[in-house]
Amino acid sequence: MATMRSLLFPLLCSLFILVAQRATAQTICFNEKGNFTLNSTYHDNLNHVLSNLLNSQNHNGDGFYNFSYGSASNQVFAIGACQGDVTIEVCRSCLNETMHIVREACPNQKEVIQWADKCMLRYSNRSLFGLMETSPNKILYKTANVPSDSVVAYFDVLMNLTNNLKSRAAAGGSLRKFAAASVQSPILFKTIYGLVMCTPDLSQNDCINCLENAIGTFPGSEFRTFGGIILVPSCKFRYEDYIFYNPTAEEAPPPSPLPKPQTASPPPPLMIEPGTKNNTSSARTIVIIVVSSTAFVGLIISLVIIMSFVQVNHRSKEPAVEETTTVESLQYSFETMKLATDNFSEKNKLGEGGFGIVYKGRLSNGQNIAVKKLSRRTAQGDLEFKNEVMLVAKLQHRNLVRLLGFSLEGSEKLLVYEFAQNGSLDPFIFDPKKRTNLYWNRRYKIIGGVARGLLYLHEDSRLRIIHRDLKASNILLDGDMHPKIADFGTARLFVVDQTQDNTKRIVGTYGYMAPEYIQHGQFSIKSDIFSFGVLLLEIISG
């Protein structure tokens, strides 16, 4: 367990750089504004609004969407606004993902607001267009403080930058009210980057009032930090000590006391969650959390997954197959498998790998199965094959594909597995159409499930197993999109206290293999952790 934690923690801290953009996602479900009944007229109208919000006729041409549908108490109003430095493709992608998130987070609330890093989505049973609102709000800030002897000078530079940005953003027309710029603090020789935006349906005065009100709610002590965000329904303010927006968004930046440094800004410091603050208004819950740091994202998600590991490790083991299970109880006749797969017809073929072809099958009792027809070139003997089937069948975990049995007739060797309705993970990562179903909450759950399954193989099962071919195509998804690690054809069974081995035969997939495995044939649980890291990158960035 200690080995797993020591390997996984630094790995995830570095890998989750790619999800920093998602760090500011915040959702508020207004329970006090009323709820709707599922499958009601209001629910149907909401689905219609969200499905049609991104149509071109509801778009102002520069990242702002406005649409309503229905009548009287069942009318639904929605607006979507994107940050002024993103392309229309990024804008639409952000709003699409946001719609998935709010439907999960707020399944029956009539009024919802969701802030993401690059966009904001609101819907309600009241009109929202042209309405300036500054409550509820969310405040997020770093924990790295400006040195006490530099706070006043740093604050003055920041306020000058903020005032400049407010004026520029408010002066924008009905298409975009957005500004971004940077300035260097003469005391700390540190560049401050700032961004403000209002929804473009606001007037110039309303935009200024919104930003002033929002910035005024930021606790004065928090301006001692090197970064912060203020999110309100109608506007947004953010500043950092690293560039977090598209540099081309900077137009006519304010005069800088000193030339800007030519070197790249250092990455943001580590951030923690300091807690929650309550305001006297029940609708104005100010959640103080920390964002905008790639290290923070890595830390938090690492801790969550590691905690999952700890919980799994201390829970009772998953129920295993009874010791009285016999080889005969797991064996299917070859004729049964032929019948189940329609004589291994091409139309039932699910996939093909280096160790055989997988077919979809259906037993006489209606149960769907996956049948792996192993390559005939395998040199494994019948007794060895049966013994390995018995061992793998005893591995029972919700994040492993369950081996139901086998068939053995002459040179034909078949493995019978539970069927995963949604197939393998790789199409959801690499197929542009399927990728839209893999929104962030779902990706996160898949990552956690694979991690738990891998921990079970390495630490909690009665056998220690190194998978050796962990990749997207070997992660299957059931009907609820829960991940299950599959294909133990290349796995090496270990005795409990064995941690490393050496092989002359390299099996697996290049790109997922650890360097020491490719070069020297050495494999251990570290080899699987390396593959897990590559898989994480694919899940996050795909």
| Whether residue 229 is found in the same domain as residue 367 | no
369/512: higher pLDDT: 369
When divided into structural domains, the chain yields a total of: 3
Measured CA to CA, the distance from residue 399 to residue 456 in angstroms comes to: 9
The pLDDT tens digits for 273-314 are 333 333 333 333 333 333 333 444 454 455 445 444 444 444
Least confident of 121-135, 282-296, 358-372, 508-522: 282-296
The pLDDT tens digits for 348-363 are 998 876 567 899 999 9
Taking alpha carbons only, the member of 323, 352, 475, 327 closest to residue 406 is 327
Confidence of residue 327 (pLDDT cuts 50, 70, 90): low
pLDDT computed for residue 499 by the predictor: 47
Measured CA to CA, the distance from residue 230 to residue 132 in angstroms comes to: 15
Domain end: 129, 161, 187, which one? 129
Chain centre distance of CA 109: 24
| Whether residue 35 is found in the same domain as residue 157 | no
Distances in Å between the Cα of 168 and the Cα atoms of 196, 207, 266 are 9, 10, 28
Tokens of 214: 């929002």
Measured CA to CA, the distance from residue 405 to residue 327 in angstroms comes to: 9
Percent of the chain with pLDDT over 90: 34
Secondary structure class of 531 (helix, strand, coil): helix
pLDDT computed for residue 315 by the predictor: 43
CA 216, 218, 219, 224 torsion: positive or negative? negative
* Neighbouring residues of 93: CB distance < 8 A, sequence distance ≥ 6: none
| Whether residue 288 is found in the same domain as residue 330 | no
3-state helix, strand, coil in the chain (%, to 5): 40, 25, 40
Looking at every residue in the chain, the average pLDDT score rounds to 76
| Whether residue 191 is found in the same domain as residue 219 | yes
| Whether residue 90 is found in the same domain as residue 155 | no
pLDDT computed for residue 288 by the predictor: 30
| Whether residue 371 is found in the same domain as residue 406 | yes
Strands in 64-69's sheet, in edge-to-edge order, are 26-29, 112-115, 119-124, 76-82, 64-69
Position 133 pLDDT exceeds 80: yes
Tokens of 163: 């005032």
DSSP 229: E
325/297: higher pLDDT: 325
pLDDT computed for residue 199 by the predictor: 96
Domain end: 96, 129, 162, which one? 129
Q: Long-range contacts of range 487-493, CB-CB < 8 Å, 24 or more positions apart?
A: 487/353, 487/355, 487/401, 488/392, 488/403, 489/353, 489/355, 489/356, 489/372, 489/374, 490/355, 491/465, 491/466, 491/467, 492/465, 492/466, 492/468, 492/523, 493/388, 493/391, 493/463, 493/464, 493/465
Position 337 pLDDT exceeds 90: yes
Report the first-to-last Cα separation within the chain, whole angstroms: 30
Q: Which residue has 């938090």 as its token pair? A: 300
Q: Which residues are catalytic?
A: 469
Query: Three-class SS string for 404-455?
Result: EEEEEECCEEEEEEECCCCCECHHHHHCHHHHCCCCHHHHHHHHHHHHHHHH
Position 415 pLDDT exceeds 80: yes
What does the angle CA 369 – CA 309 – CA 399 come to, to the nearest 5 degrees? 5
140/108: higher pLDDT: 108
| Whether residue 121 is found in the same domain as residue 189 | no
Is residue 45 one of the residues assigned to a domain? yes
Query: Are 201 and 130 in contact, with CB atoms under 8 Å apart?
Result: yes
Least confident of 10-14, 83-87, 129-133, 369-373: 10-14
pLDDT computed for residue 220 by the predictor: 52
Q: What is the mean pLDDT of residues 253-262?
A: 37
| Whether residue 148 is found in the same domain as residue 122 | no
pLDDT computed for residue 386 by the predictor: 75
Confidence of residue 326 (pLDDT cuts 50, 70, 90): low
Q: What is the domain-level CATH number for residue 237?
A: 3.30.430.20
Confidence of residue 533 (pLDDT cuts 50, 70, 90): confident
The pLDDT tens digits for 424-441 are 898 888 887 788 778 888
460/384: higher pLDDT: 460
| Whether residue 278 is found in the same domain as residue 322 | no
* Neighbouring residues of 472: CB distance < 8 A, sequence distance ≥ 6: 424, 425, 426, 429, 430, 535, 538, 539
Least confident of 129-133, 310-314, 419-423, 481-485: 310-314
Q: What is the mean pLDDT of residues 170-192?
A: 86
pLDDT computed for residue 256 by the predictor: 37
For the CA atoms of 493, 499, 502, 503, what is the dihedral angle to 10 degrees?
20
* Neighbouring residues of 251: CB distance < 8 A, sequence distance ≥ 6: 168, 179, 181
The pLDDT tens digits for 157-180 are 888 899 999 999 999 988 899 999
pLDDT computed for residue 314 by the predictor: 42
Is residue 499 one of the residues assigned to a domain? no
| Whether residue 125 is found in the same domain as residue 142 | no
| Whether residue 385 is found in the same domain as residue 342 | yes
Burial profile 320-349: b = 16 or more Cβ within 10 angstroms, e = fewer: eeeeeeeeeebbbeeebbbebbeebeeebe
Position 79 pLDDT exceeds 50: yes
Position 11 pLDDT exceeds 60: no
User: Where on the phi/psi map is residue 264: left (φ > 0), alpha (ψ -120 to 50), or beta?
Assistant: beta
Least confident of 119-133, 260-274, 343-357: 260-274
Q: What is the domain-level CATH number for residue 321?
A: 3.30.200.20
DSSP 145: B
99/458: higher pLDDT: 99
The pLDDT tens digits for 451-488 are 999 888 888 876 677 777 788 888 999 988 999 998 76
Taking alpha carbons only, the member of 463, 437, 446 closest to residue 532 is 446
Measured CA to CA, the distance from residue 91 to residue 289 in angstroms comes to: 25
Query: Are 493 and 463 in contact, with CB atoms under 8 Å apart?
Result: yes
Exposed / middle / buried, residue 316 (Cβ in 10 Å: 0-12, 13-18, 19+): exposed
Exposed / middle / buried, residue 21 (Cβ in 10 Å: 0-12, 13-18, 19+): middle
Least confident of 34-38, 143-147, 271-275, 322-326: 271-275
Query: Are 478 and 424 in contact, with CB atoms under 8 Å apart?
Result: no
Confidence of residue 511 (pLDDT cuts 50, 70, 90): low
Secondary structure class of 278 (helix, strand, coil): strand
Full domain range(s) for residue 205: 138-292
Q: What is the mean pLDDT of residues 42-49?
A: 95
Position 238 pLDDT exceeds 60: yes
Residue 495: CB atoms within 10 A of its CB come to 7
Is residue 406 one of the residues assigned to a domain? yes
Is residue 503 one of the residues assigned to a domain? no
| Whether residue 66 is found in the same domain as residue 200 | no
User: Where on the phi/psi map is residue 14: left (φ > 0), alpha (ψ -120 to 50), or beta?
Assistant: alpha
Domain end: 129, 157, 181, which one? 129
Position 416 pLDDT exceeds 80: yes
